[in-house]
Amino acid sequence: MKINLFNQKKPILIAEISCNHCGKKDKLLDHIIKAKKAGADLVKIQTYEPQDLTIKSNQKKFKIKSGIWNGYLLWDIYSKSQTPFKWHYDVFKLAKKIKMPVFSTPFSIRAVKFLDRFNLPLYKISSFEITDYQLINEIAKRKKPIIISSGMSSIKEIKKAISIIKKYHEKIIILYCVSGYPTNIKDSNVKTINTFKKIFKNYEIGLSDHTNDINSSLAAIANGAKFVEKHFITSKKIESLDVKFSIDVKQFNELRERGDEIFYSLGTDKIRLKSTEKNSIKLRRSIFAKKDIKKGEYLSEKNLKNLRPVIGTTSDKYYQIIGKKSKRSIKKDSPIKKNYF
């Protein structure tokens, strides 16, 4: 399914489902349907099984020690969060039926090769995989657009990932990202988008937002983000591992509506008379007779005044006509026209 990713008229919103299906295929499919209704342009899933990410081990090094997933073994959390490969057939069947572009973040070469059968419109590289050059190279071979998520990354690391992709193509989108789950609003640093725009001038820039609301996403759009990715959940009542940094249908719809309004309000940086100002400009001031003026009388501050609207000579010519002789008699409160002096 094709979608215009570049030179788009307004920001593209991506609904990331991740593990919000809670291990139920029907819930996953429902998320895709409701994401479309909420205004998403793209839906993203994650393609992995636990063996694509880690090994099954009870060692301390394989246990998460902080945050909302504190105490989980890596194998256990990925087993719980996975979108099983066999579900993908129904995912892309539904995507085609409802005309909702769906793409994925593959977490292994095995996953990349598996996804080939679905002809994805684009791929994403996770922040955690930005230094997995083997995986990046395999994805880039497909010559499809690639989104790079930049959480935890240095500029050097982002440029290295780009250099690998550039061997095959330059259809690259870079998302500024904070890999905090959830991200504290004070850590959002949305202005970094402007830094990215300066450094990565040849690529589209966006935001992968892990806060629990839409404020950072709206701020990103105001700062010129062309893409915004948010974790999406159909209801905050769902006990998902990602619920604390996901937005629901109402919030996503608000992001769509307010985000579009912000985008259109930004307009152009060119200084020009706007269409809505064309009538207003007629309410500027022009020059009127303060009292009756006789033919041959000199125009002065004593017999002229500036008032709305623009009828005769505009008020910016006031000092240019002071001292000139009136060619005719002018009644009080009459506009001073060009042929009167």
Q: What is the pLDDT of residues 29-69, one digit of tens each?
A: 999 999 999 999 999 999 999 999 999 999 999 999 999 99
Report the pLDDT value the prediction gives residue 70, as an integer from 0 to 100.
95
Domain 12-48+83-266 has CATH 1.10.10.10: no
From-to residues of CATH 3.20.20.70 in the chain? 12-48+83-266
Nearest to 240 by CA among 18, 15, 14: 18
Mean pLDDT, residues 90-118 taken together: 98
Number of CB atoms found within 10 A of residue 281's CB: 11
Q: Are 334 and 289 in contact (CB under 8 A)?
A: yes
Measured on CA atoms in the order 246, 130, 256, 92, is the torsion positive or negative? negative
From-to residues of CATH 3.90.1210.10 in the chain? 275-340
Domain 275-340 has CATH 3.40.718.10: no
pLDDT tens figures, 187-204: 999 999 999 999 999 999
**pTM summary value:** 0.90
The crossing angle, in degrees rounded to 10, of helices 249-266 and 215-222 is 20
Report the pLDDT value the prediction gives residue 3, as an integer from 0 to 100.
77
User: Looking at the predicted structure, is the pLDDT value of residue 9 above 90?
Assistant: no
Report the pLDDT value the prediction gives residue 1, as an integer from 0 to 100.
62
Q: How confident is the model at residue 86 (pLDDT cuts 50, 70, 90)?
A: very high
User: Looking at the predicted structure, is the pLDDT value of residue 249 above 70?
Assistant: yes
Mean of the per-residue pLDDT values for the chain? 96
- As a whole number of angstroms, the distance between CA 152 and CA 233 comes to 25
- As a whole number of angstroms, the distance between CA 39 and CA 15 comes to 9
Q: How confident is the model at residue 8 (pLDDT cuts 50, 70, 90)?
A: confident
